Amino acid sequence: MMQNTLHILLLNQWAMPLGLLIGLFVFILGAVAGSFAGVVVTRLPLSLLAHAHDVQSSDPNVLGSYTTPTLAYPRSHCWHCSTQLRVIHTIPLISYLLLKGECSYCKKPIGFSLFAIELLSALWWTFCFLQYGLSGAFLVFSVYGSALLCLAFIDGQTQLLPDAITQPLLWAGLITSSIGVGNLSLNLSLFGAVLGYCVLWIISRAYLIIKGEVGLGDGDIKLVAAIGAWIGPFALIALILIASLSGILAALILRFKEKMNPGDYIPFGPFLVASALLIQALLSPNYYHLLIGKLGGF
Ligand SMILES: [Zn+2]
């Protein structure tokens, strides 16, 4: 009895610091995942463009002195002066702050987006840890968030949404539901993916017929299908509404501030990703029970 009470007292005493320590570890893990996502954001579009246009042989200037980059090659270097980075320059979050956002060799700016993706990824992983604890769901939804961030930044910078990420994301959503992680059944997950693809396909073709120009890329359609597999058909309607309205609002603000001309294209991916993360957060256990559970076990 005495020993049990002592055990509980010790547990209570250590639970808080231990939780904080694990939380900090998760934050760092999220930043490292964000750092990897940053590598993908920088290199995957270059690699795709190189394959698409075969620039290796025809126009080496497009990729500087390097051949097609892969995720591992060439080693981390400054994209301005090509100097290889030292280990201290590759620590997620900290390096950017220490270097004050510029290359330590040539003093040219390092993209703020790399810092942003590391920070957002770290915050998302910490949020998932607070929602799911250390579990399979935590890992699955954390990686899902980092992959979505990757897509948002790639689309924002290059207006590409690579199949190399959207396709595995769709399969991962279906597999996640099939093994019972999260709130979705496999049927709803499948229905979400199909509905997402069909709704966006109809909107994009209608836009093409009415306006005579491409309003939505195929990448957007595949991304919505992938997100549909993760959130199901009901939340998908909310996703499309929130993403569209926030996209239109952003376009209006940019037009008002004269930073966007009529006919300019604003990438839809970042708005889809922001809405998907918001909805995924609301579907996580604490909020899900708060929002839906009280309405009668929807
Ligand atoms: Zn440099």
Residue type, 254: L
User: In the beta sheet, which residues pair with residue 109?
Assistant: 102
pLDDT digits (tens, 9 = 90+) for 130-141: 999 889 999 999
Residue 288, pLDDT above cutoff 60: yes
Residue 62, pLDDT above cutoff 70: no
| Omega before 74 within 30 of 0, i.e. cis | yes
pLDDT digits (tens, 9 = 90+) for 87-140: 888 899 998 998 888 888 888 888 899 999 999 999 999 999 999 988 999 999
For residue 82, how far is its CA from the centre of ligand 1 (angstroms)?
Answer: 6
For residue 80, how far is its CA from the centre of ligand 1 (angstroms)?
Answer: 5
Residue type, 100: K
For residue 152, how far is its CA from the centre of ligand 1 (angstroms)?
Answer: 26
The dihedral over CA atoms of 48, 49, 51, 54, expressed in degrees to the nearest 10, equals -170
Residue 61, pLDDT above cutoff 60: no
Per-residue confidence (pLDDT) for residue 207, from 0 to 100: 87
Q: Residue 74's closest CA among 89, 59, 90, 85?
A: 85
Our measurement of the distance from residue 157's CA atom to the centroid of its chain's CA atoms, rounded to an integer in Å, reads: 14
For residue 282, how far is its CA from the centre of ligand 1 (angstroms)?
Answer: 42
DSSP state, 295?
G
Our measurement of the distance from residue 73's CA atom to the centroid of its chain's CA atoms, rounded to an integer in Å, reads: 23
pLDDT tier, 10 (very low <50, low <70, confident <90, very high otherwise): low
pLDDT digits (tens, 9 = 90+) for 143-190: 999 999 999 999 999 999 999 999 999 999 999 999 988 779 999 999
For the chain, what is the largest distance between any 2 Cα atoms, rounded to a whole number of angstroms? 79
pLDDT digits (tens, 9 = 90+) for 264-284: 788 999 999 999 999 999 988
Residue 77, pLDDT above cutoff 80: yes
Please, what is the angle between helix 163-178 and helix 2-53, to 10°?
150
Per-residue confidence (pLDDT) for residue 4, from 0 to 100: 63
Please, what is the angle between helix 218-256 and helix 186-211, to 10°?
60
Per-residue confidence (pLDDT) for residue 57, from 0 to 100: 47
Per-residue confidence (pLDDT) for residue 296, from 0 to 100: 44
Residue 69, pLDDT above cutoff 80: no
For residue 88, how far is its CA from the centre of ligand 1 (angstroms)?
Answer: 15
Residue ranges covered by each domain of the chain: 1-122, 135-298
Q: Taking phi first (over 0 means left), then psi (-120 to 50 degrees means alpha), and beta for anything else, what does residue 92 get?
A: beta
Cβ–Cβ under 8 Å, residues 228 and 196: yes
For residue 43, how far is its CA from the centre of ligand 1 (angstroms)?
Answer: 17
